[in-house]
Amino acid sequence: MKKPNWIIGVCLLVFPFIPVVAQNATSPTSAEAASPEMERVAKAFVGDWKTTESMDRGDLFPQGGGRSGKSQWRLAAGGTTLVGEGQSDGSVGPLWYLITIWWDRPAKVYRFFTCFRDSRGSSCKVRGTAHWERDSFVNDYEEVEHGKKTKWRDAFVEITPTFHKLLAGRLKADGTLQTLITSTSTRK
């Protein structure tokens, strides 16, 4: 019995890719290819999380408020980049975000890139640098408020395999943090 020409055509298209698929199946996972610096942040953040945020009353949130939602963190680009995506909603309105963190070996710091969309609009930008302070992962950056640059900090604290807390706020002149937003993440 003669085989239809289309079967031969499909075989010619598919068979050349079988070695590529087999090679990818044995390639190291992102975690295996990660640098020690990226392994450390991956250990702290990779996974699916339930999130809760509370905002202190102040100029940013006159009524205070809160949100709850979810986030997912994963290693990408062969273990060179940590990517976090999330969304939440509550009394202060909805929030969607993307955070990308990578290790800048020559500068010996983590770089931070963020995209946020909330009721005030959306923005994407490189957002300072990050580093470890003992067991806390800290991102320092600047925001323009009332026409002048203000130092801000996001500090991921109380990091365990099933929980972490994010304290976000302004840095005071004495170096202490005026916390404006507290977010907790619990592993699903």
Q: In this predicted structure, what is the pLDDT of residue 89?
A: 97
**pLDDT of 166 strictly over 80:** yes
Q: Which of 48, 53, 86, 82 is nearest to 68 (CA)?
A: 53
Out of 2.60.40.10, 3.40.50.300, 2.40.128.20, 3.40.50.150, select the CATH number for domain 29-187: 2.40.128.20
141, two tokens: 């950056």
Q: How far apart are CA 35 and CA 102, in angstroms?
A: 10
Q: Which of 63, 43, 65, 46 is nearest to 54 (CA)?
A: 65
Q: What is the DSSP letter of 67?
A: E
> Averaged over 71-97, what is the pLDDT?
97
More confident residue, 8 or 4: 4
Look over the chain and give the mean of its residue pLDDT values, rounded to a whole number.
Answer: 86
Decide: pTM greater than 0.75.
yes
Q: Where are the domains of the chain?
A: 29-187
> Averaged over 156-185, what is the pLDDT?
96
Q: In this predicted structure, what is the pLDDT of residue 11?
A: 39
Q: In this predicted structure, what is the pLDDT of residue 3?
A: 45
CA angle at residue 75 from 95 to 25, to 5 degrees? 135
Kindly tell me the burial class for residue 55, based on how many C-beta atoms sit within 10 Å of its own C-beta (0-12, 13-18, 19 or more): buried
Q: In this predicted structure, what is the pLDDT of residue 33?
A: 59
| pLDDT tens digit sequence for 123-152 | 999 999 999 999 999 999 999 998 999 999
Question: For 41, phi and psi rounded to 5 degrees?
Answer: -70, -35
Q: How far apart are CA 73 and CA 10, in angstroms?
A: 38
More confident residue, 119 or 50: 50
Least confident of 20-24, 133-137, 156-160, 164-168: 20-24
Q: In this predicted structure, what is the pLDDT of residue 60?
A: 87
Q: What is the DSSP letter of 14?
A: H
